[in-house]
């Protein structure tokens, strides 16, 4: 497997390591880490730095019951799934995503947006952020759209290109608010991505006018 060339923004890795990144974005970062040894190393380093900072804090007086409460919480944490993603196995999805989705792409329901472009009926959302899967047939184009907030795509199969670069398995494409872009799937195979958005997409052009009003083709 080749090493990803496009990574999440450093501040996202920092927030992820600090445990302060929002849930939906964390899912994409965790999935990217399964592909990317560079970002895994960075997150491990940041987590170690966080531990050192905590260790340097001056001791505070605590109540007698705190130790018991803390041990109970640690036990609960130990019983939770491991935060470090498992390597990509036979499943198409990296470990963190496989656990959340619980099925392979063929077993999922898909909603056609335009010919060749499908979104999964499966999705998760928290606050204003949401995630679902984007499936592009070989050579298909996502209609031009701009964003009212950020968008991130993680490629899990195949690849696509836009004005900003070419993205392959493990790569993360990030788009800021108001950035129009035109994704085109590679011609040699289907492309499957995890799509994370913070607000609904706003499509541009006549086709976009129809899509924004709920039309599907
Ligand atoms: Zn990376």
Q: Which residue range(s) make up the domain with 143?
A: 1-217
Question: CA nearest 183: which of 209, 164, 202?
Answer: 164
| CA–centroid distance, residue 72 to ligand 1 (Å) | 34
Up-side HSE of residue 111: CA atoms within 13 Å toward CB?
A: 11
The number of domains in the chain is 1
Residues 153-187 have pLDDT tens digits of 999 999 999 989 999 999 999 988 777 788 999 99
3-state SS assignment for residue 34: helix
| CA–centroid distance, residue 67 to ligand 1 (Å) | 37
ipTM of this model?
Answer: 0.97
Give me the pLDDT at residue 111, please.
94
Which ranges in the chain belong to alpha helices (H)? 10-18, 23-35, 37-56, 65-79, 95-101, 205-212
| CA–centroid distance, residue 40 to ligand 1 (Å) | 7
Domain CATH number, residue 163: 2.60.120.10
3-state SS assignment for residue 20: coil
Mean pLDDT for all residues in the chain: 81
The owner of tokens 């335009």 is 114
Contact 161/183 with Cβ under 8 angstroms? yes
Give me the pLDDT at residue 213, please.
54
| CA–centroid distance, residue 4 to ligand 1 (Å) | 6
Angle at 77 between CA 172 and CA 53, to 5 degrees: 70
Residues 2-56 have pLDDT tens digits of 899 999 999 999 999 999 898 999 999 999 999 999 999 999 999 888 766 656 6
The tokens describing 216, both together, are 């599907």
The Cα–Cα gap between 32 and 94 comes to 8
The Cα–Cα gap between 19 and 26 comes to 9
| CA–centroid distance, residue 62 to ligand 1 (Å) | 40
Measured between alpha carbons, how far apart are the two ends of the chain, in Å?
36
């Amino acid at each position: 497997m080749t090493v990803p060339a496009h990574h999440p923004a450093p501040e996202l890795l920092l927030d992820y390591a600090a445990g302060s990144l929002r849930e939906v974005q964390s899912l994409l970062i965790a999935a990217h880490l399964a592909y990317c040894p560079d970002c895994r190393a960075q997150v491990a380093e940041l987590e170690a730095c966080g531990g050192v900072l905590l260790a340097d804090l001056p001791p505070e007086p605590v109540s007698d019951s705190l130790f018991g409460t803390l041990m109970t919480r640690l036990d609960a944490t130990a019983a939770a799934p491991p935060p470090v993603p498992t390597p990509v196995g036979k499943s198409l999805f990296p470990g963190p995503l496989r656990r959340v989705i619980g099925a392979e792409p063929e077993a999922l329901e898909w909603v056609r947006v335009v010919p060749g472009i499908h979104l999964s009926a499966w999705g998760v959302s928290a606050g204003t952020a949401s995630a679902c899967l984007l499936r592009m047939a070989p050579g298909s184009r996502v209609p031009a759209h701009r964003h009212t907030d950020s968008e991130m795509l993680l490629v899990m199969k195949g690849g696509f290109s836009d004005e900003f670069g070419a993205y392959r398995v493990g790569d993360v494409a990030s788009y800021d608010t108001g950035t129009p872009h035109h994704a085109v799937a590679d011609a040699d195979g289907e492309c499957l991505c995890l799509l994370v958005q913070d607000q609904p997409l706003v499509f541009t052009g006549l086709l976009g006018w129809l899509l924004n009003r709920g039309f599907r083709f």
